[in-house]
Structure 1
Amino acid sequence: MAGPNDHKDGAPSHIHIEKDKKFNWLPWLLLGLGLLSLLFALSRCNREEPVAVAPTPAPAANEVVAATPNAGASDALVGTSGLGTYLAGTEALPRTFTFEKLNFDAAKSDIRAADAAEVNEVATTLGKYPSAKIRIAGYADARGNDAANMALGKARADSVRNALVAKGVDASRVETVSGGETDPVDTNATAGGRFENRRTELVVTAR
């Protein structure tokens, strides 16, 4: 009878069982992280990033400027024939009105006889609304230097103010400023364009 230590000739004296090698997870982990990063990058490419827009501060209630609100598009403004309707309404202040027929000859500030009627109509309208206050802004074309054009714009505004006062409008209700050549409504390259730029505008500052 064979003992426990007996073995047949040619048979191995012992059996060697090789243990499994330890599985290396590190390459697979790195590959997975790489794929996740790629997917995240692709998802951001297809999405528009929001653009931060700084809010536009609201103008102060009493802020009025000489410049035309719609420079270059004066036909979008109301002519002085709409002044009475505005003063009778509740639309917000300030509001700019264009003179429909009030321009000046080159280098001059006196109101032409042909344009005096509109100034008289404005004076009549203001007489119906005695609490209304206005600002007259005068402008020049681009010829001449800045200082001279600023002075000319102010002289034109003062000329309109004086005409209104002569028609009975209290002087304390009419302020004058100059925009010089800074706010053209037409080209300065032609005689007709320069004529349009030699103008005044009326801004209602109070009702």
Structure 2
Amino acid sequence: MNIKVLLAGAIAIVFSFSPGFGQITNNPKVEESSAAYVKIKRVELTDQFTIVHLLFTEKSSPQPLFFPSPRTPDQRIPKEFQGTSSIWLDPETRLYKPGEVDKKFKFIKADNIPTDSRKGVMPGDTVNFVAYFERLDPGIEVFDFYEGRSSGGNQSWNFYGIHIKNPLKKDAKAPQAAAKVDKPVKKPVQPAPKPKVEEKQEPAEEPVAAEKPKSGLEKMKTGKMAVGETISLPNVYFETSKVDLLPESYEELNTLVDLMKESENIKIRVEGHTDNVGDFDKNLDLSRKRAESVRSYLIEKGIAADRIEAKGYGGTRPLAKGTSEVERSKNRRVEFVVTQM
């Protein structure tokens, strides 16, 4: 018996070092999630897939939670599920490298949860399910899981800042180091302006207000803030469909600069948000770049770079649920979150 145990242990060790065995992160750290009743239990990396193991726990409340809204008549809620909750996994779900919207990894398949129909759940039920995606590139040790935006009473499952074990391959480090040494420093070339026809894609816009809304910086002036608190910057504006700050933004941002210089221990995360008009990925990219524009402005004014993060959420975190222009304008915003006091 002891010999068999030792043999089994030796085989396990051999497989754990095999390139095809994969890298496993149990109960990974998740910085933020849109639904507390869905947890990521494990992330496994194989040669072919990024495998995300999740646990859904239905609330005891009878309030329905439909995920997401049906796209075709075939996906409408069956009669036997009416009055209960139902779940499914959107096949458009994808993984992103934070800050790089073009670096996305597509959904492949799922186990124990439908992607073209619905699964009924009763209060207190739990569902273990698995989602398979394209393999994350080695070196990406933090990623985001995006289903999309919540709407119409339906809750999407988004996870931000999922930390995993995925080290860069050793043989990939040397060429990168060599490239940094040999590559000459060049002044970046400004791209040519895009033709006006691209405006038809209707990405989110930031209108200039006739009257200045009340800024959240007033609370910052009093010193009554806490880590995790969100402060609004309603007087920060951008050119339509672009990331360039308008001069009307400078007064508010300069006030923030002064306050951060007075309180040298404060660190913040600038967050960009758009409405839900237009392409989801483009809005996500636009919101990130606008947050980065604010960060760059603060750095240029003398705030240390390590005191400011920047992140874009696109239309995934709306303040208003309506579809009117007034409601959508509330969702086009820039905020910051206090990350350290």
Pick aligned residue for 1:199 from 310, 317, 333: 333
Pick aligned residue for 2:221 from 84, 107, 117: 84
Q: Do the aligned residues in 1 keep the contact of 2:217 with 2:232 (CA within 8 Å)?
A: yes
1:120 aligned onto 2:259: no
Note closer, same or farther for the CA distance 1:188–1:143 as it changes in structure 2 (3 Å cut).
farther
State how far apart, in whole Å, the 2-side matches of 1:188 and 1:132 are: 35
Alignment of 1:128-207 (within 5 A): 128-186=262-320, 189-207=323-341
State how far apart, in whole Å, the 2-side matches of 1:103 and 1:198 are: 10
Q: Do the aligned residues in 2 keep the contact of 1:104 with 1:195 (CA within 8 Å)?
A: no
Note closer, same or farther for the CA distance 1:115–1:193 as it changes in structure 2 (3 Å cut).
farther
Larger helix proportion of the pair: 1
State how far apart, in whole Å, the 1-side matches of 2:340 and 2:246 are: 28
Note closer, same or farther for the CA distance 1:188–1:141 as it changes in structure 2 (3 Å cut).
farther
Task: Name the SS of the counterpart of 2:245 in structure 1.
Answer: coil
1:97 aligned onto 2:231: yes
Q: Which amino acid aligns with 1:204?
A: V
State how far apart, in whole Å, the 2-side matches of 1:79 and 1:183 are: 18
State how far apart, in whole Å, the 2-side matches of 1:106 and 1:184 are: 19
User: Equivalent pairs: percent with the same residue?
Assistant: 29
Gaps of 5+ in 1: 1-50, 55-64, 67-76
Larger strand proportion of the pair: 2
Note closer, same or farther for the CA distance 1:97–1:180 as it changes in structure 2 (3 Å cut).
same
Deviations 1:173-196 (A, max 9, x none): 000111110112235623333333
Q: Which amino acid aligns with 1:161?
A: R
Q: Which has the higher contact order (CA 8 A, sep 6+)?
A: 1
Q: Which amino acid aligns with 1:79?
A: G
Q: Do the aligned residues in 2 keep the contact of 1:105 with 1:195 (CA within 8 Å)?
A: no
Shift in Å, 1:98:
0.5
Q: Which amino acid aligns with 1:82?
A: K
Structure 1 residue aligned with 2:168? none
Deviating 4+ runs (over 4 angstroms): none
Instruction: State the superposition RMSD in angstroms.
Output: 2.8
* TM-score, with length taken from structure 1: 0.57
Q: Which amino acid aligns with 1:97?
A: I
* TM-score, with length taken from structure 2: 0.36
Q: Which amino acid aligns with 1:85?
A: T
Note closer, same or farther for the CA distance 1:188–1:147 as it changes in structure 2 (3 Å cut).
farther
